[in-house]
Amino acid sequence: MVLKRRSLQPPVMHPRRRQDITQHNVGTLFNSKDFQNEVAHRLSGAVQIPTIAYDGMDPVGEDPRWDIFYQFSDYLERTFPRVYKALTVETVSTHALLYTWQGWDETLKPMLLMAHSDVVPAGQSATSEWSYPPFSGYYDGEFIWGRGSEDDKSNLIAMLTAVDCLLACDFKPQRTLIVSVGFDEEGGADQSYGARCLADTLLARYGKDSMELIFDEGIAGIEKRFGTDFALPATAEKGYVDVTIKVSVPGGHSSTPPDHTAIGFLAQTIRLIEDHPFPSQLIRHNPTLIYLRQAALLSKNMPDDLREAILGSQSSRKLLEYLDNDRERRAMVRTSTAIDVVQGGDKVNSLPENATVLVNHRIAIQDSVHVVKDHYVSLLSPWARRWNFNLNAFGARMHKNHEDGATRTDGTNDCGDLTLVASYELDPSPVSDTDDACFRWLSGTIRGVFGENVVVAPELLSGNTDTRYYWDLSPQIYRMSPWRASHDPRGTRMHTVDERMPVAGLLEMVKFYHEFIRVMDEVRR
């Protein structure tokens, strides 16, 4: 099957003004070994400060584990004195940072860059497995090693370095630039001391839809797929909900057990959940569909049968089969179900009275929190009726007598209670429009920095970023860490042992932010 590879890509974009900056920074400075080592040591120093965000931390001011962030903000001020002198730097909610580089043309909406300073724990049990101590920030000339080196201190250091380089050339922005730095992105779904307060501050100051675009972290954004380099800015991210299932039954001595203990009953519900996944569906506004079409038209080595499945009008079933055959691809078209935490039982000779399971869901574009709840009710109601459990689902008592179908009102409990509770409910994000000028500007800059042969296509992010608090500030939100994943042959190591950042990738990030700021300064609608 031969396809005409018509160009679906916007033109390459380079800054046109101030070619002296291009010659000095892009042409010379960014290629020098001294600059490479300076930027690497900036990131190394940032990694050495263990700004860990744990699940379940108490609020700032009450939990001393937040105090390490004072040291980190001091480090940034020492490392970037020129930035702190020229920009307005504010602290929000104690440890969040807001940098504002005021532009001289107030008719232009600001552009907003985002990052976060917190990191996940390194894990005491796994410390011995690290090649270098996880907070050493060791730099071997090729990689900066340590927790947070990739996620997300690399983006933060690259952004501030790009601004610093522009300041050194006496660049005066036309468009206001804002850099918003949260400190609890990794801290768990129930924490929002940083990003939420930053978003609220910006919303109160500038108003709804006041930002031209928002750019935040994401996957290592330049990947080779089907023999072709793809840049994959995420234009949407999945929703999120945790569902806790609790089985409660009478206890007793283990010498006279019933047919099923609380744990046994819970195991039955777990099997039901895993045996009945959410259906896969590829709908029109899922960014995955746009990516697949771009890949089918522009990639070098895609198998012909897959191209035909993507582009053919009668091949949707075959395409879904392809997506379902790999768990990474499947996550782009299905609400995921992950049995993550199970608890039950206290003692070997005592029957457990309670057993619980925590199930994590990343909600697909076509679904919602409401859809997830309905799924659980329809799936577990028949089971509860069969075993005569009282079903308390998401705040509503829903048990029906399994013999006659009548709603029970007498409060009796023939077997036990099955309780479903949802926590941290987040619907999927809005989808940014790839036909918008902002996506063309972003795509043109990416191709200008990484090469005109790079194919830019939107991606759906399966996780969640701090952008979940920023939806009201702009309809154009993109999530990508702008460096080539191929710089690390071991692949991305974020959130695991031996996290590291290639210095070549770090320099690419500096160059991208440097050029993106300049391109956005020259364009207008």
Binding site, annotated residues for Zn(2+):
116, 151, 186, 216, 495
> If phi over 0 gives left and psi between -120 and 50 gives alpha, with beta otherwise, what is residue 141?
left
Q: What is the largest CA-CA distance in the chain?
A: 85
Q: List, in order, residues 6 or more apart from 373 with CB less than 8 Å away.
A: 243, 393, 394, 420, 422
- Backbone torsions φ then ψ of 24, nearest 5 degrees: -75, -50
Answer positive or negative: Cα dihedral of 501, 505, 508, 513: negative
> Locate tokens 């050029």: which residue?
515
Residue pair 338/256 in contact (Cβ under 8 Å)? The answer is no
CA atoms within 13 A on the CB side of 55: 2
Dig out the tokens for 336 from the structure. 């995921």
> Which of 150, 152, 164, 185 is flagged as catalytic?
185
Residue 185 bears catalytic tag: yes
Strand partners, 97: 91, 181
> Which of 118, 152, 427, 521 is flagged as catalytic?
118
Angle at 458 between CA 498 and CA 513, to 5 degrees: 60
Residue 353 bears catalytic tag: no
Helix H or strand E segment including 155:
helix 153-168
CA atoms within 13 A on the CB side of 206: 27
| CA nearest neighbour of 278 among 358, 357, 378 | 378
- Backbone torsions φ then ψ of 328, nearest 5 degrees: -70, -45
Residue pair 139/40 in contact (Cβ under 8 Å)? The answer is yes
Residue pair 417/443 in contact (Cβ under 8 Å)? The answer is no
Angle at 301 between CA 297 and CA 302, to 5 degrees: 60
Q: What are 311-315's contacts with CB under 8 Å, separation 24+?
A: 311/3
Beta strands in 102-227 (DSSP E): 111-116, 143-145, 177-182, 213-225
Buried/exposed code over 38-77 (b: 16+ C-beta within 10 A; e: otherwise): ebbebbbbbbbbbbbbbeebeebeeeeebeebeebbebbe
Q: List, in order, residues 6 or more apart from 341 with CB less than 8 Å away.
A: 356, 357, 358
Give the active site residues. 118, 185
